[in-house]
Structure 1
Amino acid sequence: MIFHPTTLADCWLIDLEPRGDERGFFARTMCRDEFAAHGIVTDYAQQNLSLSRETGTLRGMHFQRGEHVEAKLVRAIRGTILDVIVDLREGSPSHMRHEAFELSGDNRRALYVPPGFAHGFQTLTPDCEVLYSVSAPYAPGAEGGLRHDDPALGISWPLPVAVISPKDAAWPLLAERAEALPF
């Protein structure tokens, strides 16, 4: 695997190193020792698969609080997404900054999202499947989110939002939050 640092502290974009022959190729997608050497969480409690049928579908921007805070390892296995993360960690050199990454079944890239980040994505093609491992099981009472269109974040989504859940559309703007972000 090839680990590329991002502009956000502790995040990594991970490329495969396929070994090919006439059959196709083989590549490692996870290695505990290499992940640990890069400060990446190596213990994942849950793996999720999402299917988004329509181009322009937006999922996010999600995070979990307290003991349920989670690291994520995200990979598009079919289609193409724009994956966006926001650093919510107080004291981080990249606090409240975001970065976007194109992940696709063709480029086979993975994005490591450390604990303390909000995460979301928009589909750029129809029928996208996204596989992501998380370091903590989903806990409904610990979930939180940011508005995808919050002007304080300034995220530039490439397409108009075609589909979004009512919950994701209703997260409060940062300027309207009664409580501070939990990190």
Structure 2
Amino acid sequence: MTHGWSSPDPNAQKNRVPSSTEMATLKQMADFNARVTSMFDQELEQLRNTYETVHKRYLKQILEIEATQSELYRIQSLITASEAQRALRQSEQRELQALMHPIRRCPEDILREIFEWVTCEAGNSRHILEDSVHLSSVCQKWREVAISTPFLWVNVSFDL
């Protein structure tokens, strides 16, 4: 295994006792390695502490994000429920307005006049029949008035 530097120890490859000069060099290298190892230990301690701090912050943010998502889902559910209630009330409002519409209080003779006027505008007998059917489909009162209005049904034609 090579480390990019060569050991001054001639005993690395041979099994002999190092000289006093070699021992001094080996001692310096061992001291240097001990200092570098100590520096790495300090750096690792610092990095681990930083990692723990950042990791705790990360976990706290994850919890905050989850709480925010939960709140968003809750609010979205409330919006959906409110929209459904609004749509129901709006539908009821339209029905109430339709019930209160002045045309519902219109006397039958006036309705007959209106029906005859509408069908006269139609022109040919096929359109008169279509208009008569449409008028009789609006509501029960209009059906009764339309059926009891002979003018709407005198020009019934059939294609053979």
The TM tier, using the shorter chain, reads under 0.3
Q: Write 1 or 2 for the structure with the bigger share of helix.
A: 2
Greater relative contact order, per chain length (Cα 8 Å cut-off, separation 6+): 1
Relative to the length of structure 1, the TM-score reads: 0.20
Q: Write 1 or 2 for the structure with the bigger share of strand.
A: 1
